[in-house]
Amino acid sequence: EKARQDGVAVIGVPSGFVPRAAVAYMTVSAYVVAHLAGVLPDPPEAEIEAAATLLEELVVELGPEAPNGSAAKALAGRLPGRVPVIYGAGMTAPVARRWKGQLNENSGIHAFWNELPEVDHNEIMGWETAPASGPFAAVFLADAHQHERTRRRLTLTARLIQDEGSEVHILESRGAAPLERVMSLVLTGDLVSIYLCAASYTDPSSMEVIERLKAELG
């Protein structure tokens, strides 16, 4: 209200959502702010509409009514009993972090994330003993517009991890513009987390441990 009184532009976000459920609203708001600030030269409306249309199509293709062999359901079917490690590179790195949080909060399971090329400087060594220390699964978030060398690194890293005996999955982004491609991977991760939640009869809205922590912190 103070900002409006002072004549400052305000982009409203609907209330009543847990933060992780408002990612699309916040992303669209950030796009609009970036345009108003001159960071994005072109008005973002067309890209936002294209992303919304693609997500509607993907909900049909990957959502609850989709066949069990759909990409999201197939991956969710491979992850029970395994610890997912989500890897991204460049634009898909923040999405990998999003996946990790969704698997933690919605599915109630351990999950970790990192980004290339940092993975190849240290973490890749842990995959040598991963099969002995626990059932891990590496999930790589790929993008057709990634730099050729980045894509080569991703493919090679995935193969080396697989050679060490761990399960590996590579998911490709969908769409043309950056917002479409990012949100396609976000949606896929959200659906995977919900399918895992349903398989274990976990309540995705339960935040009991976090609420206990907040209560004890005061």
Task: State which residues form the domain around 10.
Answer: 1-43
In this structure, the answer to whether residues 37 and 112 fall within a common structural domain is no
For the entire predicted model, the pTM comes to: 0.91
Q: Residue 90: left (phi > 0), alpha (psi -120 to 50), or beta?
A: left
In this structure, the answer to whether residues 167 and 72 fall within a common structural domain is yes
Cα–Cα separations (whole angstroms), residue 178 to 16, 28, 135? 28, 13, 33
Catalytic positions are: 105, 121, 214
Taking only the tens place, the pLDDT of each residue in 178-189 is 999 999 999 999
Query: Has residue 57 been placed in a domain?
Result: yes
In this structure, the answer to whether residues 83 and 188 fall within a common structural domain is yes
In this structure, the answer to whether residues 33 and 129 fall within a common structural domain is no
**What do you get for the CA distance between the two ends of the chain, in Å?**
29
Taking only the tens place, the pLDDT of each residue in 14-54 is 888 888 888 999 999 898 889 988 998 888 999 999 999 99
In this structure, the answer to whether residues 159 and 114 fall within a common structural domain is yes
